[in-house]
Structure 1
Amino acid sequence: MEALDAGELRRWAAACVESVDAHRAAINRINVFPVADGDTGTNLLHTLRAALEALLRAPSGQRADAGAALGVLAKGAVTGARGNSGVITSQLLRGMAEAASGAAAVDAGLLAEALRQGARRAAAAVSEPAPGTMLTVLAAAADEAASCLPGATLHEVALAAATAAATALDKTPDQLAVLAEAGVVDAGGRGVVVLLDALVAVVAGTPVTTAARVDATPGTAPGTAPSATPMVASREGGSELYAYEVMYLLEDASPAAAERLRDELDELGDSVSVAGDGDALWAVHVHCNDIGAAIEAGIEAGRPRRVRVARFADALPDGPARFVRERAVVAPVRGDGLADLLLAEGVAVLRVDDSLPPTPYELLQIITGTGAAHVTVLPVHRDLMAVADEAAIRAVAAGQDVVVVPCASPVQALAALAVHDPRRRAGDDVVAMAEAAAATRRGEVVVAREDAITWVGPCAAGDVVGFADGEVVLIEAGPASVSTLTRAATGVVERMLAAGGELVTALLGRDAPDAIAAALEEHLRVSRPEAELAVHRGGQADVVVVLGLE
């Protein structure tokens, strides 16, 4: 055969369905990225069936030539795409359709270009492509097909692509450690080989191979089928932190809106793909915990329809059985020293970048990741209260009991943690922690970044400013020398102690000199011998020292 016309492409689509159907169980069994017993084969089969059905149902005028037939296959695949593998397959067909647009038949040169454009489209649809996957196998096949030209026949190009795909597939365990540990190749890559083998058979005019090769499998029985429950799915890829797969078709969305949607979904979860059919229809796929947010993001970008949500079969079940522990404490934290301090107390910590505030979804991952039925969140910083509240609302909506204890300062979080007792009833424990945090007075010493007017007078950039309970109480003229910083720290403590107190806690910032601790100790020994002092290295970048008084 010298070229594939519309009729031969229809036979190829039918051969793909037949072959994938025969290999489905074997492909499912080797899906171990990152957990075993996925449904890559089932997803591929569902997607290809949708593509073939679209071609068979299309009016004859819409499938008169090869380019038009590939276009109909691509649109059908996008509409019926299931899972990451299905989305990638739809984009392979879309790229092939773009390369063959207007062509009556696909010859050797056009096939090589179609495979190359298909591989590009597939890679572009995935938010974070990983080596050792079906994208790697596709790229190898496309590169080898192109290298045959000029001079190769259609059969030689197809055979070169299939052979290169099989070789790349055998190398996938070297690229993904989880495959090597399980003794299998990538399931999606195996699907690519099946599709290209079917193409070779159609070009050669031989029967399609439907005998599934026996693969090393991670302890699963042959013929293992996916879950029969429509609301439960096996995990095809991505992190085990996310319990749900959300897919929908998105209409009336521009390419720019689709790109923004991809960025928003990246913040919600992983395994993100936003793949179009070239005509304002997009297939959207994400693994996440916040189902509502994933759908809301689609509403902002366009018009979602055919929304499909499934809980992963390997995810924790709903209800009390989904939790593996009773209680946990979570805190978003700035400063490595403070983070280590809380970790030592058993707190689940979200390390927060000094310049980039966290999203509620990042904190939500930590909350759900504890596997605790009841979670107490200590925001630690006043500017993280809103993030903590939003994350808690979403966790509660998903069935987890989450309470945010108001903490405007790290010292208030430490005070709350000091009275935390998991042996108490959860409600009583939260009340005790909230009371301890509220009873802790807070102070700070910072270096002013700009000129300002305060309650105690004007300050200039570089001056040292002391706060007590959020109000400016003193200003020391800059520059911020060691003596100036220690004078400000002792001055803030003295003002706070005027109303009484027994324990002073000092969290030294990243650039705070050790002399501050010595100065505070000497000041209390002379002026307030009844007060105790506890000093820790907090490591905060935005403050010289944080002070607490109980």
Structure 2
Amino acid sequence: MGQILDGAAVRRWSRLAAEALGRTRGEIDALNVFPVPDGDTGTNLHLTVLAAADAVDELPGGAGVAETWRALAQGALLGARGNSGVILSQVLRGLAEVLGPPGTAPDGAALAGALEHASGLARGAVEHPVEGTILSVLAAAASEASAASAPAGPDGPGPEADPGAAGAVRAAARGARQALRRTTGQLDVLARSGVVDAGAAGLCVVLDALAAVITEEYPERYEVPARVAGRAPARDGPPEPRGPGYEVMYLLDAPDAAVHGLRETLDGLGDSLVVVGGDGLWNVHVHVDDAGAAIEAGLAAGRPHRVRVTYLHAHDTDPEAAHVPHRGRAVVAVTAAGGLAALFEESGARVVRREPGAVPPLAVLAEAVLAAGDEVAVLPNEPEVLALAEAAAERARDGGARIAVVPTKASVQGLAALAVHDPLRRFAEDVIAMTRAAGATRFGHLEVAAEEAVTSVGLCQPGDVLGLIEGDVAMIGADVGDVARHVLDRMLSGGGELVTLIAGTYAPPGLAAALEDHLRERHPDVEVGVYDGGQERYPLLIGVE
């Protein structure tokens, strides 16, 4: 039995858990009635674990156990989605802190202790813990694992005693399943709907995957209860209170001392407050009516980034509301340049043009999204357009459409997302595939400095050529070709299979051909695609997949 959670086993678990949540995502989404009935808990958990698994996959094959656990926890923290996803990221952090240090005994007591620690961390991250949720089920799993790995009493070991990791993880998974069934009776909203807690159901899938890796006993399917036996959803009685209107999430760079005050401020603004992380990096989640105030609280505590604002009541049903007729799947892409617009249109997207250096009017983008179809993925393709795209999506969701914003920060990420777009897939699956493709694409660009400025690599003067990688200046030079080669080599230092070069209006003649020659010589295994983007501001856009 694979009883040692070494680096290879953690890698297998992360990928297996992601695959298992991918298969059960729709069933978990269908259970989602708490804290908001927005039907996305399974999807959020899947995306969270995918982010963790992708972070582990980026490690070299021989990475040690401590490094692997650290990557798993960090990937989950950075990629956490939704209330349950943020809590699960804290669970993975707790496991990593106990099982990651070198020399940890590979036995049931260590695993049980890790689950106990994870349970305490997760509960402490939630401002107002509620029983009948993922927290209750995690606590039960930890308790059962501890009981299974406890030393024998005066009458000898129990009938199912197993001091090894296999015994502890079997007990944890079994205890979680038993606690999952109890959630219906612990929370009124679950009882009225006749379902178990969605986040807790997702945790059971993750623990089942862990048990499979440790015991090498792989289930044919991962169970998600469709409905509690003998219960039907209750239709009578007053409707649930509507609750705050927006989910606000962001990563926050802040000293640990500032987080206590942030918690107090956000707790006064809304509910479902969860703050996880540590060592200066935090993931903040809260439901509020005033999204701006929640973001301002983050600014007062530190530097918020990757801000996401989601309207929570898009799935509310109004019998008198007009429903959007089924018009099929579409992708809307935002871009400024004519050549880029043509590339997006050739790839099947509807394009919303913006002026260089500006964002499109909200009304124009919202109207384009509404007109595109009843299932629409939006590609912002610039960090500055992302918040506007979310606002436009909220307007379209109010009309009954299903809208997802794929967080593309560059045109090359948008093109990568379009390359895997498949209108025959389920919408959620299509969005996940596009999000993964965009996230797997590193982006860079060249621009010419217009004024003197201090950058991360020194002082630049007007006319200097700047090479940027994912928004940060990586090189200052005098020659476009030299800077482009340096940026390409830096971006490919971590590996890559496909390089996309998009030349701008003011790119020097022969630049793309010279870079192709450079890539053939220095990186012969890399496939290269060259396009004319027509962008004015950037002589060259670069993507590495």
Relative to the length of structure 2, the TM-score reads 0.52
Alignment of 1:303-342 (within 5 A): 303-314=303-314
Separation in structure 2 between the aligned mates of residue 104 and residue 73 of structure 1, nearest angstrom = 19
Distance in structure 2 (CA, Å) of the matches to 1:312 and 1:136: 25
Residue in 1 aligned with 2:189? 178
Question: Structure 1 residues 101, 214: closer, same or farther in 2, change over 3 A?
Answer: closer
- Aligned residue number for residue 393 of structure 1: none
> How far did 1:314 drift?
3.6
- The residue aligned with 2:244 is 242
Residue 180 of structure 1 aligns to a residue whose secondary structure is helix
Provide the rounded CA distance (Å) in 1 between the counterparts of 2:79 and 2:6.
Answer: 24
Q: Which residue identity does 1:189 align to in structure 2?
A: A
Give the drift of 1:103.
2.5
Q: Distance in 2 between matches of 1:247 and 1:219?
A: 34
Name 1:498's counterpart in structure 2: none
State the secondary structure of the residue aligned to 2:190.
Answer: helix
Letter in 2 for 1:96: L
2:112 pairs with 1:121: no
Q: Please state how far the C-alpha of 1:34 moved relative to its aligned partner.
A: 4.7
Q: 1:192 aligns with which of 203, 207, 218?
A: 203
Instruction: Specify whether residues 171 and 79 from structure 1 end up closer, same or farther in structure 2 by C-alpha distance, changes over 3 A only.
Output: same
**Quick check: 15-24 or 106-115, which moved more?**
106-115
User: Contact (CA 8 Å) 2:86, 2:274: kept in 1 or not?
Assistant: yes
CA contact (8 A) 2:196 2:225 kept: no
Question: SS in structure 2 opposite 1:48?
Answer: helix
Partner residue of 2:92? 93
Residue 202 of structure 1, aligned match among 206, 213, 218:
213
The CA distance in 2 between the partners of 1:26 and 1:316, in whole Å, is 19
Q: Matched residues in 1 for 2:207 and 2:316: separation?
A: 38
Residue 139 (1) aligns with residue 139 (2): yes
Q: Please tell me the residue identity of whatever aligns with 1:158.
A: V
Greater Rg, structure 1 or structure 2?
A: 1
Is 1:169–1:190's contact at 8 Å kept on the other side of the alignment?
yes
Deviates more, 1:51-60 or 1:120-129: 51-60
CA distance in 2, matches of 1:133, 1:214: 15
User: Residue type matched to 1:50 in 2?
Assistant: A
Verify the 8 A CA contact 1:15 1:208 in the aligned structure 2: no
Distance, in Å, in 1 between the alignment partners of 2:213 and 2:122 is 23
SS at match of 2:251: strand
SS of equivalent to 1:45: helix
Q: Which residue matches 1:270?
A: 271
Match of 2:171 among 160, 181, 184: 160
Give aligned pairs, total.
302
Deviation of 1:240 after TM superposition, in Å, equals 2.5
Separation in 2 of the partners of 1:296 and 1:73? 30
Q: Distance in 1 between matches of 2:59 and 2:279?
A: 16
Listed as ranges, the gaps of 5+ residues in structure 2 are 152-161, 234-239, 323-393, 396-545
Rounded to whole Å, the distance in 2 between the matches of 1:102 and 1:7 is 15
Change (3 A) 1:301 1:208: farther
Amino acid across the alignment from 1:131: E
AA of the residue aligned to 2:207: L
1:457 is aligned to none
Aligned to 1:29: 30
**CA distance, structure 2, for counterparts of residue 37 and residue 290 of structure 1:** 19
RMSD, aligned CA: 2.8
- Tell me which amino acid in the other structure corresponds to 1:203: I
- Residue 252 of structure 2 aligns with an amino acid whose one-letter code is L
Distance 1:59 1:263, change over 3 A: farther
Give the CA deviation at 1:211: 4.8
Residue by residue, what CA displacement relative to the aligned partner does 1:200-224 show, whole Å, maximum 9, x if unpaired? 111121334435545129999xxxx
Aligned partner of residue 249 in structure 1, secondary structure: strand
Alignment of 1:468-487 (within 5 A): none
Q: Structure 1 vs Structure 2: percent identity of aligned residues? A: 47
Q: How is 1:367-516 mapped onto 2 (pairs within 5 angstroms)?
A: none
Change (3 A) 1:184 1:104: same
Change (3 A) 1:316 1:208: closer
Matched letter for residue 190 of structure 1: A
Q: Is the 8 A contact 1:245 1:311 kept in 2?
A: yes
SS in 2 for 1:58: coil
What letter is aligned with 1:185?
A: V
SS of the equivalent of 1:250 reads: strand
Q: CA, structure 1 residues 207+266, in 2 after alignment: closer, same or farther (shift >3 Å)?
A: same
Residues 239 and 297 of structure 1: CA distance in aligned 2, closer, same or farther (over 3 Å): farther
| Structure 1 counterpart of 2:292 | 292
**CA distance in 1: counterparts of 2:222 and 2:95, whole angstroms:** 27
The aligned amino acid for 1:64 is G
Name the structure 2 match of 1:81. Answer: 80
Shift of 1:27: 0.5
Q: 1:3 touches 1:108 (CA, 8 Å); kept in 2?
A: no
SS at match of 2:276: strand
CA offsets, 1:365-415, max 9 Å, x none?
Answer: xxxxxxxxxxxxxxxxxxxxxxxxxxxxxxxxx99xxxxxxxxxxxxxxxx
1: distance between equivalents of 2:73 and 2:296? 27
Conserved 8 A contact 1:31-1:37: yes
> 1:242 touches 1:269 (CA, 8 Å); kept in 2?
yes
Secondary structure, aligned partner of 1:78: helix
In structure 1, how many angstroms separate the alpha carbons of the residues matched to 2:90 and 2:73? 7
Q: 1:215 to 1:162 in 2, by over 3 A?
A: same
Q: CA deviation at 1:310?
A: 1.0
1:20 aligns with 2:21: yes
Cα pair distance change 1:144/1:189, threshold 3 Å:
same
* Shift in Å, 1:64: 0.8
The superposition leaves residues 414-452 of structure 1 with CA deviations (integer Å, 9 ceiling, x where unpaired) of xxxxxxxxxxxxxxxxxxxxxxxxxxxxxxxxxxxxxxx
Q: Is the 8 A contact 1:29 1:37 kept in 2?
A: no
The one-letter amino acid paired with 1:138 is: L
Report the Cα distance in structure 1 between the residues aligned to 2:284 and 2:241, rounded to whole angstroms. Answer: 18
After TM superposition, the score normalised by the length of structure 1 is 0.52
1:284–1:182 distance in 2 versus 1, CA, 3 Å:
same
2:70 corresponds in structure 1 to 71
Runs (5+) with no aligned partner, structure 1: 221-237, 323-397, 400-550
Question: Which whole-Å deviations, capped at 9, do the CAs of 1:71-96 have from their partners, x for residues lacking one?
Answer: 21111101001011011110001111
